């Protein structure tokens, strides 16, 4: 009996800690959204990190982080907020469409590799780097 109570206590702690972590991540995204309501701040952060954030948004999309409830999901949402509020909203769709196009090409060729390996290969590819560079140039004239 004592062992069963201990197991139930441990399970309750795990469930409770996951709920708290989820709430913290939601709060973190909300803080970024509020902070980036100031157009000057949003534009400055966008200009300083556009290339990095576009690269990561594409990989977030490739890894399906938008479908998860996790720390990675919150990070993906924050990157999108930075790009949208900074003026690069259309670029997000372009990078997602590019990732989808590459994934379809790989499916047609029957590549049998894991999603992680496929996304890492995409991230390292010259084609992906060139696409990110094109999008940054198109949506951020003053980027560093």
Query: Mean pLDDT in runs of 10 for the chain (144 residues)?
Result: 66 57 64 72 79 88 73 74 80 90 80 80 93 90 74
pTM for the complete prediction?
A: 0.70
Residue 132 near residue 62, CB atoms below 8 Å: no
Residue ranges per domain, the chain?
2-139
pLDDT of residue 45: 76
Q: Is the dihedral of CA 31, 96, 67, 106 positive or negative?
A: negative
| pLDDT, position 46 | 79
Contact yes or no for 71/105 (Cβ under 8 A):
no
What pLDDT score was predicted for residue 115? 80
First to last CA, the chain: 64
What's the gap between Cα 89 and its chain centre? 14
pLDDT score recorded for residue 99: 92
């Amino acid at each position: 009996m004592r062992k069963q109570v201990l197991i139930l206590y441990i399970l309750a702690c795990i469930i409770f800690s996951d709920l708290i972590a989820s709430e913290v991540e939601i709060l973190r995204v909300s803080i970024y959204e509020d902070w980036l309501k100031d157009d000057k701040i949003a534009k400055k952060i966008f200009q300083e990190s556009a290339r990095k954030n576009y690269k990561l948004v594409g990989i977030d999309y490739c890894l399906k982080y938008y479908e998860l409830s996790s720390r990675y999901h919150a990070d993906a949402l924050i990157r999108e907020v930075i790009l949208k509020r900074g003026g690069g909203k259309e670029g997000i769709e372009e990078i997602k469409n590019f990732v989808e196009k590459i994934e379809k090409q790989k499916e047609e060729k029957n590549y049998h590799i894991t999603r992680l390996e496929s996304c890492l290969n995409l991230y390292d590819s010259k084609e992906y780097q060139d696409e990110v560079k094109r999008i940054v140039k198109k949506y951020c004239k003053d980027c560093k």
